Structure 1
Amino acid sequence: MERPGGPLGQVVAALAAGRTAAQVVDAEGRLAWVSEQMQLLAGLSDEADMGIGQRLDDVLEREVWNELLTADAAETLRSELHPRLDDPESTPLWVLSLDLQVGGRHRGVGMLGVTLRHADGSPLGAALIYAPLLPARVLALVSEGDEAMFTRMADLSEPAKRPAAIVFADVDASGPLSRRLPTAVYFELIRGITTAFDELVGRHGGIVGKHAGDGASAYFLADDHGSDPEAACAALRTVQALPDVVAEVVADLTESGADVSREDCRLNIGAHWGADLFIGQVVTGGRLEVTALGDEVNECARVEQVATGGQRLVTKTLIERLDDAAAAALGLRPRSMTYRVLAELARDGGRAGGKADRDAGAIAVHDLGA
């Protein structure tokens, strides 16, 4: 989108650098610029016709803005903006509470209006800057997250079928371990493993799924990685690296005096490929997460449940998504790998007749750590 020049252009450049959700209007009340973040909120592309160059009154009648601003918010902007542009004695800063319509839900935001004037006091325009109505401590908590992962999660506001690699992980023999360790130490251990898992998934371009107790899950979407082989490669890189990052967590606890060793805490891992997963956000008053539904998700859960003693079971389906370059990058030789069906492994581990047999018994798997 072409930016205005002159003094107004300098204001636009500063707002763009700050990655704010903002609009700028000129002295006649015409829309001069819309920030990229504002476009993302509205679900618009850079080429979308947002009414640049038209008076804000007319712009607010456009469908794209009707879908973003509630009727009350649009009317508030109309009533507040023009008097402030026309009156040189008006307060240069003003704050409004508005409702935006984002993802099919009303979101309360604060709007900071800044009246812009030339050195001689003549009107230059106004900047309208939007910010969430959240306490600073809540914003600080959100800011601790992985911004790139949050962006990938935001792209999934519309649930749809998407191919992806799936990873499930769970602490081996966690029941005896939790009984042996002091509760505070066990909590630190699980928190450390969960944090390390999330950071590793984010580092490899994945999205963290549900956490339940000492279990975790992640998805690596082909859309995010550009191809099926690259998504499969990212998932397998994560699987390869998990034992070492867990060992680091355990080592830190040991240094603090906890009686826990690497052999006490191993992750059982299952990894699979889903060609037709239904993936999207689950947003409630208490959480924001991404979840996936499909037969392959259930199958991956069964693969992980059969794993024992820190096994890293990856399915033949996932390995065969790799191309030669991805396999070489992982140090794998798919042509020389052998597989066992999950039901056979389950029987060896005393799990015959369970859900693994019923839901995924015929799936071929390879222990990546063998």
Structure 2
Amino acid sequence: MGEPEGQLGEVVAALAAGRTAAQVVDAEGRLAWVSEQMQLLAGVAEGTDLGIGRHLDEVLEREVWNDLLTSEAADTLRHELHPRLADPTTTPLWVLSLDLRVGGRHRTVGMLGVTLRHPDGSPLGAVLIYAPLLPARVIALVTEGDEAMFERMADLSAPAQRPAAVVFADIDGSGPLSRRLPTPVYFELIRGVTTAFDELVARYGGIVGKHAGDGASAYFLSDSHGSDAAAASAALRVVQELPGVVADVVAGLAETGAEVRAEDCRMNVGAHWGAGLFIGQIVTGGRLEVTALGDEVNECARVEQVATGGQRLVTKNLVERLDDDTAAELGLRPRGLTYRMLAELTRDGGASSGKAERDAGSLAVHDLG
């Protein structure tokens, strides 16, 4: 069965253009169309038989829809839809609250149903549109984020081992800076730096990790970028450009009269490669974030802790993921770089950290600064 034609086809075209999670059934209650967004919500693979052309009662028994809709939701849908298709006197607009299983978790969503009729009142079909049950101001807040990054985060609902580059960064000497600046000014500075970091990560196809105080982290997955080399390149691009975007934040704050200079806000950075990080979502009542676990994450944190005075320490493991083309795009000559053991930096006046030397002292690092 192909795409619906006639008036039902016009409805489908409008829904497709609106990027809605929706289904369309015809006058006989047969599934006529499923939007791309609905398929993504259900997590179906390309080419999956969705039951197009089959009666909805049969369709809802299929595994793909059983996995998405709870049995109570499917029963509610049946009991509400069929009488509305058959009786032209029913209200054409109706709303249900349904429980879905998304990413292994139950989520309550609103379903807006619209029954469609021909000019003579005979049934044409119905549209079923699924949307979150959230206040408008909460939805507006969510839409401020980077859509592409949210999609990358959505792809990680099932935790798994994934190769990725890791970046950690924080402000050098933030303690004295926080005491010197008025608290509102320091808050604006941290908010500006955090926003700049997140925007830079999003620009290069990464995923923002945890923020803690003035610290930030990010992951660049091979799966998202298509290769290890591309993921490593994206991470290194962020490391290269971070000082510039932070300097812009500081300059903007100084223009408001704040006594802050670029040298007051140098970013210490550590960047490393993890061949088999365990990466996935953490979703609670108060947050949605992606986190990564593995030895290389801990090592990267130690590298960043050793960096001082705005050093940008990148590991040999990360740089050697680059191929000739990605290295040239970054302006790097990997064959000409030299490295030092992280333990040497702690002994030569870098940030002293027994944990850093113990956990990552043997790592070879290069300062991109």
The gaps in structure 1 that reach 5 residues or longer are none
CA deviations on 1:26-81 (whole Å, 9 max, x unpaired) are 00000001111111111102411111111101111112111111111111111111
Report the secondary structure of 2:50's partner residue. coil
Displacement of 1:119: 2.0
Cα separation, partners in 2 of 1:350 and 1:167, compared to 1, 3 Å: closer
Report the counterpart of residue 308 of structure 2 in structure 1: 308
- Give me the whole-angstrom Cα distance separating, in 2, the residues matched to 1:113 and 1:231: 43
CA distance in 2, matches of 1:302, 1:206: 21
SS in 2 for 1:94: strand
After alignment, is 271-280 or 345-354 more displaced?
Answer: 345-354
Moved more, 33-42 or 168-177: 33-42
Describe how 1:37-186 pairs up with structure 2 within 5 A: 37-186=37-186
The aligned residue for residue 213 of structure 2 is 213
TM-score normalised by L of structure 1: 0.98
**SS of the counterpart of 2:77?**
helix
> Does the 8 A contact of 1:343 with 1:352 survive in 2?
no
1:306–1:349 contact (8 Å) kept in structure 2: no
Query: Over residues 218-259 of structure 1, what are the superposed CA-to-partner deviations in whole Å (9 max), with x where a residue is unaligned?
Result: 000000000000000000000000000000100011000000
Quick one: which amino acid aligns to residue 98 of structure 2? Answer: L
Change (3 A) 1:236 1:351: closer
Task: Please give the per-residue CA displacement for 1:319-369, whole angstroms capped at 9, x wherever unaligned.
Answer: 100000000000001111111100000111255561111000010000001
Cα distance in structure 2, aligned partners of 1:35 and 1:298: 42
What TM-score results when the alignment is normalised by the length of structure 2?
Answer: 0.98
- Determine if contact 2:103/2:157 at 8 Å carries over to the other structure: yes
The number of residue pairs the alignment matches comes to: 369
Match of 2:357 in 1: 357
Q: 1:2 to 1:167 in 2, by over 3 A?
A: farther
CA distance in 2, matches of 1:5, 1:221: 42
CA separation of 1:233 and 1:353: change in aligned 2, threshold 3 A:
closer
Task: Answer yes or no: is 1:336 the counterpart of 2:336.
Answer: yes
Letter in 1 for 2:269: I
Structure 1 letter corresponding to 2:73: A
In 2 relative to 1, CA 122–363 (structure 1 residues): closer, same or farther, beyond 3 Å? same
Alpha-carbon distance change, 350 to 192 in structure 1, aligned in 2, over 3 angstroms: closer
**Could you say which residue in structure 2 is the equivalent of 1:277?**
277
Unaligned runs of 5+ in 2: none
Q: Which residue of 2 aligns with 1:295?
A: 295
Identity of aligned residues (%): 80
The question of whether the paired residues in 2 share the 8 Å contact of 1:31 and 1:54 is answered with: yes
